[in-house]
Copies of this chain bind each other. A is one copy, B any other.
Amino acid sequence: MSGNTFGKLFTVTTFGESHGLGLGAIIDGCPPGLEITEADLQHDLDRRRPGTSRYTTARREPDQVKIMSGVFEGKTTGTPIGLVIENTDQRSKDYSEIAQSFRPGHADYTYWHKYGLRDYRGGGRSSARETAMRVAAGAVAKKFLKQKFGIEINACVTQIGAVKAEKIDWDVVEGNPFFFPDDTKLEALDELLRDIIKQKDSIGAKLTVVASNVPVGLGEPIFDRLDADIAHALMGINAVKGVEVGDGFDVVTQKGSEHRDELTPDGFASNHAGGVLGGISSGQPIVAHLALKPTSSIGVSGKTIDLEGNQADIITRGRHDPCVGIRAVPIAEAMLALTLMDHFMRHRAQNADVHCSTPDISKP
């Protein structure tokens, strides 16, 4: 209820601050019999890890995950899966500046007002470091969905600043440090980001996340429509300010005769809907977009106030991510995976006799 649990049937509850003893999570409700190892989780954790290129922060977080329970002889047992990552880099630092004033654009101000006190070390609970546990848990969901339905979930960065991808070529995404799907724009991106780094500033980004081979039937109207829950999952990622499903804001200027996806005996003729109709998956690929703000931890001085309300200036020292959107790629995949996993179980609870299936259009 205090917001640290995601999902209703396949639940992930996380704990941990950026500078505490460690991070952890409990996955509850995982079906028994799934083969899973720490290496399965580590793969996505490594994609999220900072310090992998010149365009991400140079902080070192080995992020080595340990499975504490719920797996026996290589398989999930149906009991809760406990995960822990110990924080290795907690050297004491001088937080006096950050402790006495609120960084603009950060959660410092709101946490302090909400709870009446705050762990000011490196952002505490509001640090993006917490997303490591989402990525670890998402890897479990991804593996289940892949094995059960052949579902593939992939995200990429489709825009940074004014540089937009003009095509989506999944084959190049993992081969460049921007997770960018259009290799004709890599040079422009390199130039943009070097410039941003030089200015000690940061820049926003747009991501696209796609799930293919999703069976028809996932999603619970009225309030927990699949698209509503996807919006919840993605808007819950640090720095996200906008979410679209399918054509998103482009629908504002569309006519009904353009937007509706017509049906043919071979399937849908288009996918303006982004794979969701009436809040339920249609069997088409699910397509969502998200907008991430530029990080507020920058080297450009800004106006703020201190705890007593006096005017002050603030500047974030040390390396930071010039574009936090880049490292959000595995997080977006994880959140979509967790959403689909949860909805698969919700569907199955009520409708196990109507097996959700890959879209055979002519039969329920």
A261 to B278, CA, bound (A): 37
Q: Mark A343-364, 1 if CB is under 8 A from B, else 0.
A: 0011111111110110101101
Is residue A259 within 8 Å, beta carbon to beta carbon, of the partner chain? yes
Partner of A80, one of B14, B67, B240, B249: B14
Q: Which residues of B contact A262 (CB under 8 A)?
A: 104, 302-304
A255 to B274, CA, bound (A): 29
Report copies per complex: 4
Contacting pair B350 A345 (CB below 8 A): yes
Partner of A260, one of B16, B105, B196, B247: B105
Contacting pair A251 B117 (CB below 8 A): no
**Given A32-B351, A265-B310, A349-B348, does the pair A125, B204 have CB atoms closer than 8 Å?**
no
Partner of A84, one of B24, B78, B106, B224: B24
Contacting pair B79 A125 (CB below 8 A): yes
Contacting pair B105 A265 (CB below 8 A): no
Contacting pair A28 B9 (CB below 8 A): no
Q: Which residues of B contact A161 (CB under 8 A)?
A: 252-253
A248 to B202, CA, bound (A): 17
Known: A24-B82, A32-B350, A202-B256. 16 other contacts (CB 8 A): A2-B224, A3-B224, A4-B26, A5-B5, A13-B28, A77-B118, A110-B217, A111-B278, A114-B217, A125-B222, A225-B236, A228-B231, A228-B233, A241-B245, A259-B296, A305-B361
